[in-house]
Amino acid sequence: MESAVNFGAWSLVPLIFALVIAFWTRSAIFSLFAGCLIGVMMMGYDPQATLLGLDPAGGLVKLIAASLDGEFIRICVIIIFIGILFELFKRAGVLVAFAEKVSKTGTSPKKVKFTTWLLGFFIVDDYFSPLMTGPIMRPLTDAAKVSREKLAFILDSTTASVCVLVPFMSWGAYIGGLIAKEGGPINGVDEAITLFAASIPYNIYPMLLILFTMLICLEIIPDFGFMKKAETRARLEGKVLRDDAIPMISDEGDDIFQQKHEKTYLFFDFAVPIFIVFGTVIITYFMFGSLMILEAFIMAVIYLGTSLYAKKYVRDFSDLTEIGIKGAKSVMSAIIITALAYCINTVTKGLGAAEFIMAFSDDFMTPSLLVASTFFITAVISFSTGTSWGAFALMIPFVLPIAYGFSGGVAHDPIVYKALAAVVGGGIFGDHSSPVSDTSVLASVGAGSDHMDHVITQLPYALVVGTTTILLYLVI
């Protein structure tokens, strides 16, 4: 979707406006809505129209047509089934039982944080990882007085960052496809994926972020900035959320969360549903080449609902329906934010924000600055649009020809590896730090944190790692 008018630098106005409002009010929904409203009026701009040429209705039609695609609907349904599964866990009493069982081992905050990092590190999928690791670890981090902001940061830092270091996953196939499409000295997708794999050792940002997160979890690097305030609040006051926070998973139904039964079946009602999710995802990947995350959670919900009904923990089908409604209500804020994130993503793309950033940077792209500037530009595009894959699609055709020119037309050359790695790393920066990124939203969902609290506490950490990455690219 393209706008009929070239807005240039003005294309960044909706996102900048949304960010300013977000940091001022800490309300993700209000700020994203405000940014969308500004963008809708700009998208509907018509010089022939009245009222300064603004046509909000026309812009709204364009926005809805471009935003509400199948991927958006699928993410919303996944989030709903996450909420239903969590509500079933509450009814089964397994979350309390699991937390109590583990807490008897004297689990420390450091151990809980490191376990979360480790679990996220080994689940190689940007959507599945936070949605599965978060609900498993949340009772433990709450018991250990670890803030939800810290949990969201750990989840977010071990998702896409891990995915781009594994070339045989969907990320590698997608990036390989973009490289192959560009042509040049590369012949075919197989050779393109080989080139991507060869660039991984130069992909400083995700490797540095994973290491940085581990050191934060082990408390070797102390917390700082807004995260330090959040951790101090959780540790001294026992408040894992700030007083006015709006968690992406609501705490409605705490009576169910506290419900205990004479016998709690941790294996059948907690471990088996998790195994079903993991097993379905793994099997479908090897059978069909894709991770069927939605189908995995649907199967887990069907199994656990049937199990609880058989044990009389669910009275009847109307009771089961009520649990489903409560589960859907508990993630409603997440769905609203996801919808608004998709809308503002569409707005910034439609107004030409990415094209403006690329054109602006074209004047100073030199061999000595190629890698560092590529990382920075891709990071800005990804942060602005909330999508790393979109940033890859824009920057790989832009950067690779320049890199091939510097390498003398040779594909397997250090300058090509570094340039490609800088594109991928820059995309990851925006993907996990932007408030309009779907993976950031899912990290907030998994952690049950306030989304803007997650963004505000995480951003200084991302900027430290990002700045370090740029400095390293300037010297290597």
Contact in structure between 467 and 165 (CB atoms under 8 Å):
no
Per-chain mean pLDDT for the chain: 81
For every residue of 92-116, DSSP letters joined together read HTHHHHHHHHHHTTT--HHHHHHHH
Per DSSP, helices labelled H in 238-271 are 254-257, 266
Q: Which residues contact 159 (CB under 8 A, 6 or more apart)?
A: 120, 125, 126, 127, 129, 130, 432, 439, 442, 443
Contact in structure between 352 and 401 (CB atoms under 8 Å):
no
Tell me if 77 is assigned to some domain: yes
pLDDT tier at 354, thresholds 50, 70, 90: low
Tell me if 190 is assigned to some domain: no
Chain segment 236-275, per-residue pLDDT in tens: 999 999 988 888 776 544 443 445 555 677 888 888 998 8
Chain segment 199-208, per-residue pLDDT in tens: 999 999 999 9
Whether the pLDDT of residue 404 is over 60: the answer is: yes
- Specify the pLDDT at position 183: 64
Pick from 12, 3, 2, 131: nearest CA to 436? 12
Indicate if the alpha-carbon torsion angle 96, 98, 101, 103 is positive or negative: negative
- Specify the pLDDT at position 253: 42
Tally of residues, the chain:
476
* Separation of alpha carbons 336 and 340, rounded Å: 6
Tell me if 64 is assigned to some domain: no
Total tally of structural domains belonging to the chain: 1
Scored b (16 or more CB within 10 A) or e, 49-63 reads eeeeebbbebbbebb
Tell me if 88 is assigned to some domain: yes
- Specify the pLDDT at position 229: 96
For residue 102, the enclosing domain spans 70-167+206-333
What is the Cα 218 distance to its own chain's centre?
23
* Separation of alpha carbons 287 and 142, rounded Å: 38
pLDDT tier at 114, thresholds 50, 70, 90: very high
Query: 398 vs 230, which has greater pLDDT?
Result: 230
Whether the pLDDT of residue 177 is over 80: the answer is: no
For every residue of 161-219, DSSP letters joined together read HHHTT-TTSHHHHHHHHHHHHH-TT--SHHHHHHHHHHHGGG-HHHHHHHHHHHHHHTT
Residue for token pair 């080994």: 122
